[in-house]
Chains A and B, each alone.
Chain A
Amino acid sequence: MSDISYSPKSARALNIAVCHHCHQLVRGHGRCSRCNTLVHFRKPDSLTRTWAFLIAAIAFFIPANLVPIMNIKMLGQGEPATIMEGVILFIEHGDLPIAIVIFVASVLVPLLKIVALVFLLLSVHFEWARTARRKTILYRIVEFIGRWSMIDIFVVTVLVALVQLDKLASIEVSEGATAFCFVVVLTMVSALCFDTRLIWDIKEESTKGNKR
């Protein structure tokens, strides 16, 4: 009993798998007796799936930032606005805190999220065994903050419904919003496909190697 609980071995090395849903422990493969989920030692095809969704997200990231997300028309004159132009507008109006919120949520978070996921994937591919704990914490940050990029989409939704006064003033959605939406959803799915235990597997392998 005690030799199991204080063993530095991973659960997989002891032939124990954890149910993804209810966290019940299962011997080997098979279905969870409690919730009938198919239990795996590691998320299936974790790296391939994470890469696939991430590459799709990167493809949409460029139009999301360059194409206007909405078109603001005041008294007949249109001014399309990309996310960065929205940020600059807030700075010009003296709303620095809001400018920072929008910049962080809409530009910085998606960018850092993509960079962080690429880094985590590469660290598994090239078996960088160090700082496993910090990488796991980085993953949890990515998982937590990813959803906050949706702020700008909700801003567009509110404005589009509210400002519809024909020729006087109107706000229309623009293609950038679609691309932006895809970036947020795809990076979220990509993060969900990643399995942090892969980081610890490499660490376990490398410590085994050192002992020999």
Chain B
Amino acid sequence: MNDNDNNTLQQLMVCHHCDLVLQKPPSVPEHHRVFCPQCHHKLLSHKPNSLERTFIWTLTALVFFMPAIFLPLLHLDLFGQSPSSSVMSGILALWQQEFYSVAVVVLVTSVLAPMLQLILLSYVTYSLYFGHKLPGLVRVFKAYLELRHWGMLEIYLIGLLVSVIKLIDMAEVVVGIGLFSFIALLMAQIMAVFSMDAPLFWRLLEQNKATTKELPQ
């Protein structure tokens, strides 16, 4: 009876925006997405080779992370001096001017959240891809999902662009090497997020857990 009910539940899915109960499709066809017929929420999308692609893009993003955060994004040529600014030096400047809460919010949204997300996701994809049973996978993946609202690298880039336009009248602005790393980091991070198929990851995590306990699937 209980098993029967579980099987029924396995074949269903529920839209978490309007609570509509739907039949789960066996697979999503290529270039297709499944929307909720009642409220139009995107429920599933086709993501080919999700594991490999997520793994590669996450690693690429991690490679560019440190240069993107610490190397100068912009140089200025003003009154014969040439100051430069990186993501980190901006946060330090806010801290030195005693705007601690702003400094913390910028630190979280432009450094900590994106960095933690990449580290956590690479941990999960590495383990699933190579079949290594690392500890705490489910908790790590949950933490990754929780952080998704708080990484704002793409918004930082737009902010940077606006700053350049603000400064261009009063000084000569030169692009720094940090900016190229930053754009590479952003691209790789966006690709990693788009390749990541959450329902697939949960299925694999469940299988991973089941095999460690030596239970039949």
Contacts and interface: CB of A to CB of B under 8 A. Distances in A.
Interface of A: 1, 4-5, 7, 9-12, 14, 16, 18, 20-25, 27, 34-37, 74, 90, 93, 95, 98, 101-102, 132-133, 136-137, 139-140, 147-148, 150-165, 168-169, 172-173, 177-178, 181-182, 184-185, 188, 192, 196-197, 199-201
A11 B102 CA distance: 42
Contacts of B170: 74, 169
Contact of B16 (A5, A18, A177): A18
B182 to A, nearest CB: 12
A165 B39 contact: no
Q: Is the interface of A mostly helix, strand, loop or mixed?
A: helix
Given A102-B162, A168-B78, A154 B206 contact: no
Contacts, number: 198
Nearest to B173: A162
A185 B105 contact: yes
B147 interface: no
Contacts of B198: 22-23
A148 B155 contact: yes
A157 B106 contact: yes
B93 A161 contact: yes
Q: How large is the interface on B (under 10, 10 to 19, 20 to 34, 35 or more residues)?
A: 35 or more
A5 B22 contact: yes
Contacts of A184: 105
Given A139-B17, A163-B167, 18 more contacts: A1-B11, A16-B21, A18-B16, A34-B138, A155-B166, A157-B94, A157-B102, A157-B106, A158-B85, A160-B93, A162-B85, A162-B163, A173-B102, A177-B102, A181-B101, A197-B17, A199-B18, A200-B18
Interface string B177-205: 00000000000000000000011001001
Nearest to B10: A25
Nearest to A151: B159
Given A155-B163, A161-B90, A164-B83, A137 B40 contact: yes
A153 B79 contact: no
A136 B39 contact: yes
B185 to A, nearest CB: 15
B155 A157 contact: no
A34 B149 contact: no
Contacts of B17: 136, 139-140, 196-197
Interface in B129-157: 138, 141-142, 145, 149, 152, 155-156
14 contacts: A10-B21, A16-B9, A25-B9, A35-B141, A132-B39, A147-B152, A150-B152, A153-B106, A160-B93, A161-B83, A164-B93, A165-B79, A165-B81, A199-B18
Interface in B100-145: 101-102, 105-106, 109-110, 138, 141-142, 145
